[in-house]
Amino acid sequence: MPNLFTKITLKRLYLLIPLIVLCTGVSSCTNQSNQIILLSGQHEQTTAPLVNKFESLYHVNVSVRYSDDELLAKILAAEGNHTYGDLIYVENIESLNYLAKKGLLIILPATITNSQNVNYRSSKGFWVGVSLRVSVLMYNPSLISKKDLPVNALELANPRYHNLVGIAPTEPDFIPVVTAMQKAYGAQATINWLKGLKANAGSHIYQSDEDLAYAINFGQVALGIVNQYYYYRLKANYTAQAIHSKITYFAPEDPGYVLSVSGIAILKTSTKLPLDIKFIKFILSQSGQQSLVDSGSFEYPINPKVQNPLLKPLTQLQPYPLKPDEIGDGSNAFALLQDAGLI
């Protein structure tokens, strides 16, 4: 061993490390003219097929930086005007509203925004929806029978569900539900509802919908609100024998029954505007939306010409009417969650 160290001089070692580092970095640093950088907070399983199809159709290289929505939002806020990315694609629009508020997004061309349903895009044109998810009540029939399930979200705070409810208060998917509750019943009633949920949940407070869905399925807790696709993804990844849970919907237009939007936007620092627009147009096209369905993400395609046959048809859903601007960057819901002691 000593010989090894004496043979290699310190100088050579010093030279070697930056050389390797720089060589490895070359590929990541180059940003060619036919390349765009996509920051994705969406699941890789959803994003990758879209990117692959786009690359093969348009011969444009898409370099993807994967992370969590919120982490990406915080990273971009920290980077400010020094961002190295062109597009951002996220699961929840709170992150996009947050970035728009910080002045980090551009207004999309009307040719993109005008074709979309007003409920699925930013009113100021900063982002457009790509897919939709709906909040459902997931439950474990061995722990609670269907007849005992609440018909509206407000009932979940009822003491009769003590020790039966699980919640993921810091899951970004929960923010639209809290916002809808606030819109429907007011801030104080929402805080009381959240306090009731907290009391009923006891120790069943989870970090994410994935954890909550897993907990319900495997009998840690009887029921909870999650977005529908977590249930379907769980089903897709386990054998039928391992699935011990089901989903149901709250009463029509109940604030626990909300549609949330996954969206895409262009960063202010992007220098590849034509390619960015091409990518967004593709992702909203029939071809792009079909890729989304085929990826097994179990989200609702936003383009009405494409359907996911495995899901209850979007037209049959009766969610609470909630506009994207009402959700904002999640700070209102965050304040309510804090007041209720859930954060």
Partner 1 sequence: MMQTITVFPSHVKTFFNKLWWILLIAFSLLVLMPLGAVLLELALSNLSIVKTELLSKDTVKILYNSIELSIFVTVGAAFLGIILAFFVLKMSSLNKFFTIALALPLAIPDFVMALSFLLLFPKAQGILPASLVMICATYPLVFLPVRNALMAQDANLIDIYKVFNLSNKRIFLTQLSYLKQAIASGAILVFLASLSEYGTYALLGYQTLTTYAYSIFRIAGAGNQAFAVSLVIVIVGIIITLLKVLLVKSQLLSLSAQVSVAHSHQSIPTSMKIIAAALLSITTGICLLYPLVISLINANFNAILNSETYRSIFYSLFYAGVSSVVIVIASLVIIFTSYLRPLRVIKYLAQFSVATLSIPAIIIGISYTYIFSHYLPWFYLNPITLIASYVAMFFPLGFSTLYSYAQQLPKELVECALTHKLNIVKTFLRVFIPEMIPSLATATLLSFVSIITELILTLILIPTGQTTLATTFWNYASNFDFHQAAFYSLMLIIIPSALFSIALVYQRAP
**CB nearer partner 1, residue 266 or residue 333:** 333
Smallest distance from partner 1 to CB 302, Å = 21
Q: Contact, 267 vs 106, CB < 8 A? A: yes
Smallest distance from partner 1 to CB 147, Å = 25
**CB nearer partner 1, residue 78 or residue 240:** 78
**CB nearer partner 1, residue 45 or residue 286:** 45
| DSSP code string of 74-130 | HHHHHHGGG---SEEEES-HHHHHHHHHTT-BPPPPHHHHTTS-GGGB-TTSSEEEE
Report H helices in the chain: 2-7, 10-29, 44-58, 69-79, 93-101, 110-113, 174-185, 187-201, 209-217, 228-237, 273-284, 286-294, 324-327, 331-339
**CB nearer partner 1, residue 39 or residue 130:** 39
Smallest distance from partner 1 to CB 110, Å = 26
Smallest distance from partner 1 to CB 56, Å = 17
**Which candidate, 290, 325, 294, 300, places its Cα nearest to that of 227?**
300
Report in angstroms the alpha-carbon separations of 295 from 44, 142, 247, 282: 10, 31, 22, 16
Smallest distance from partner 1 to CB 94, Å = 5
What stretch of H or E contains 138?
strand 127-139
Q: Contact, 251 vs 152, CB < 8 A? A: yes
How far is residue 141's CA from residue 229's CA, in Å, rounded to a whole number? 19
Cβ count near 326 (within 10 Å): 13
Smallest distance from partner 1 to CB 254, Å = 23
How far is residue 246's CA from residue 240's CA, in Å, rounded to a whole number? 12
How far is residue 220's CA from residue 166's CA, in Å, rounded to a whole number? 9
How far is residue 37's CA from residue 79's CA, in Å, rounded to a whole number? 15
DSSP class of 9: -
**CB nearer partner 1, residue 58 or residue 334:** 334
Helix, strand, or coil here: 167?
strand
**CB nearer partner 1, residue 39 or residue 284:** 39
**CB nearer partner 1, residue 80 or residue 313:** 80
Smallest distance from partner 1 to CB 342, Å = 9
Smallest distance from partner 1 to CB 19, Å = 11
Smallest distance from partner 1 to CB 9, Å = 7
**CB nearer partner 1, residue 129 or residue 284:** 129
**CB nearer partner 1, residue 303 or residue 330:** 330
